Amino acid sequence: MGEVTTGDGVRIHYEMEGRADNPPLVFSNSLGTNLHLWDAQAAEAARKGFRVIRYDQRGHGNSEAPVGDYTQERLGLDVIDLLDALRVDKAAWCGLSMGGMAGIWLARRHPQRFSRMALCNTSSYMPTHEFWNARIEAVRDGGMEAIADTVLERWLTPGFRQREPGETSRVRQMIVATNPIGYVGCCAAIRDMDFRGLLADIEVPVLVVIGAHDPATTPAQGEHIAERLPGSRKAVLDGAHLSNIECRGPFNRIVLDFLAGSTP
C-alpha cells in the first residue's frame, strides 16, 4: 500500500497485488465506498495474472478529502497522476458507478493509457440537479447515516440483503465510514457531469456491465452507453447496483476474461 500526491496536492491512497511484471489492472470504486469494494475481484484478478492496482477515489477511504466541489476532470486526472507515479504506461480499467464515469472521461481524454475498460453499473449523465443537491444537503445536515439505508436499498436487491446479511453489513459500513466532505464533493462532480457527447469518439475496447434491477444507474442508462460506443460489448447481470458483489461469480468471469483479452 502507499500514497501518491496529485498535481493539486491531494493524497491518494492505493494498494497493489500480484507480480510487478504482470499487466496492470486498475479498479476504481463507486461513490460512498472504498477500494475494499473490490475485495472479491482483486485476489482473483491477481491469480489470473494481473498486477492489481486499487485506489480510494478522492474524498473516500484513506485518500484525502479536500473541501469544495470536485469535478469529473479532476477525478480522472487523479488516475493519471497515480499511473504516472507508479510508472504505469498502460493499464486495463474496471470502474463501477462513479468509477465507470471516470473511465468514460479517461477513455476519451487519455485513450493511450488504457488497453481495455469495463464500465460497470454506470452512466454518462445523472439527472437531476435537484436530486443531487438534496443528497448533498442531507449529508451536510445528518452525516452519512442520514442516507445509508436508502442508498443500501438501491444498491442491493432485497433477496441479496436477506441471503447475505454479513456482506450487506460490510457494504453499509463502507457507506457510513465515508468522509462526508469527500462524499458531497463527489456528488457535485456527478451532478455536473454530462459525458453523452464523449461516447461516440471513444476507441478503447469497452465492456458495459448493466444490472438488470439497478435503480441507481438504470439499465436504460447502461444501454445508452453501449449503443453509442462503437464495437463495445455488453453484459446484463441479474442484480442491482453493485453487480460485482451481488453477482460476483459471473461478474468476475465475464469482466476479467474481457480485460485479459480472452474475448473480442
Q: Which of 1, 257, 241 is nearest to 123 (CA)?
A: 241
Cα first-last separation, the chain = 33
176-212 pLDDT tens trace:
999 999 999 999 999 999 999 999 999 999 999 999 9
> Which residue is listed with cell 440537479?
129
Q: Give me the mean pLDDT over the 30-59 stretch.
A: 97
Cα–Cα dist 214/102, whole Å = 19
Per-residue pLDDT at 262:
67
* Residue 17 burial by Cβ neighbours in a 10 Å radius (0-12, 13-18, 19+): middle
Statement: residue 263 has pLDDT above 70: no
Statement: residue 153 has pLDDT above 90: yes
Predicted TM-score of the model (pTM): 0.97
pLDDT-based confidence at 1, cuts 50/70/90? confident
Measured from the Cβ of residue 94, the count of other Cβ atoms closer than 10 Å reads: 31
Q: Where are the domains of the chain?
A: 2-259
Per-residue pLDDT at 57:
98
CA angle 137/186/24 to nearest 5° reads 160
Q: What percent of the chain has pLDDT over 90?
A: 98
Per-residue pLDDT at 12:
98
- For residue 253, give Cα distances in angstroms to 15, 104, 172, 206: 22, 22, 26, 16
Cα–Cα dist 214/205, whole Å = 24
119-146 pLDDT tens trace:
999 999 999 999 999 999 999 999 999 9
Q: Give me the mean pLDDT over the 35-43 stretch.
A: 97
Cα–Cα dist 187/156, whole Å = 20
For residue 129, the number of C-alpha atoms closer than 13 Å in the C-beta half-sphere is: 2
Statement: residue 115 has pLDDT above 80: yes
Per-residue pLDDT at 264:
61
57-83 pLDDT tens trace:
999 999 999 999 999 999 999 999 999
CA angle 251/94/246 to nearest 5° reads 30
Cβ atoms of 79 and 65 within 8 Å: the answer is no
Statement: residue 84 has pLDDT above 80: yes
Cα–Cα dist 190/47, whole Å = 34
Cβ atoms of 75 and 103 within 8 Å: the answer is no
Could you tell me which residue, 109 or 231, shows the higher pLDDT?
Answer: 109
Cβ atoms of 18 and 84 within 8 Å: the answer is no
Q: Which of 61, 63, 52 is nearest to 27 (CA)?
A: 52
Domain 2-259 has CATH 3.40.50.1820: yes
Per-residue pLDDT at 230:
87
* Average confidence score pLDDT of the chain: 97
